[in-house]
Amino acid sequence: MSATHSKSAFLYGQIRRALQSGRYAPGQRIDPATLAAEFNTSPTPVRFALYRLVGEGQVADHARAGLHVPLLNEIAMRDLYDWMQRLLLMACDIGIAPIARKPAKLELSSADDDLAKLTWQLFDAIARATAHRSLHHAVKQANDRLAPIRRAKQGLLEHPFEELSELNRRWQKRDMLALKSALRNYHEHRKQLVPCIVELLGDRSDHHH
């Protein structure tokens, strides 16, 4: 593995985490030169890492306007929620592989928890338990693309903690039918909010330009 390659793999992990943690808002520009300075490296491995994220749909390449965190329109966002829902329902249908390790319990203690992170972990666990690598990979990508949206829209939901706790309870009990029904409700609720989320993100992205 060349030095540039291992450096870009490290940067990929760092930038991916920054995107998930909400450091960059949807619509915000990501400047390779700034990142290169921050990580004390040349722009080349930074660009490699960013283009890997472009390939995964986590970063959008606007040619001359540069690289941005994707700002989805209503159709694309509804599509992404729908895709996540279908993948998770498929995971429930496949069920838990005999070789799947007993999953770590997801501790939801209060509404102050990092719900975006816990949502990522729960959906990842449901997909991983199938031992179906392609499905797990697809859920991981959809999860990563939804992470900045989940962070940005937290104020729009009235009972996000209760909704996630409900999903988690059904998952811990392995009640797949009840889990499927709860996953449908969870995603339908968010699809209904899509116009509000898009408007909220659009307003915020204006402040970042």
Query: Tens digit of pLDDT for each residue in 140-156?
Result: 999 999 998 998 887 88
| SS3 label, residue 8 | helix
- How many folded domains does the chain comprise? 2
Q: Which domain holds residue 178?
A: 74-208
Q: Which of 36, 68, 100 is at the close of a domain? A: 68
Q: What DSSP string describes 115-126?
A: HHHHHHHHHHHH
The per-residue pLDDT of the chain, averaged, comes to 90
Which letter, b or e, does each residue of 165-199 get, where b requires 16 or more Cβ atoms within 10 Å of its Cβ? bbbbebbeeeebebbbebbeebbeebbebbeebbe
Q: What is the pLDDT of residue 137?
A: 95
Residues 204 and 178 in one domain: yes
- 202: domain CATH number is 1.20.120
Q: What is the pLDDT of residue 207?
A: 66
| SS3 label, residue 30 | strand
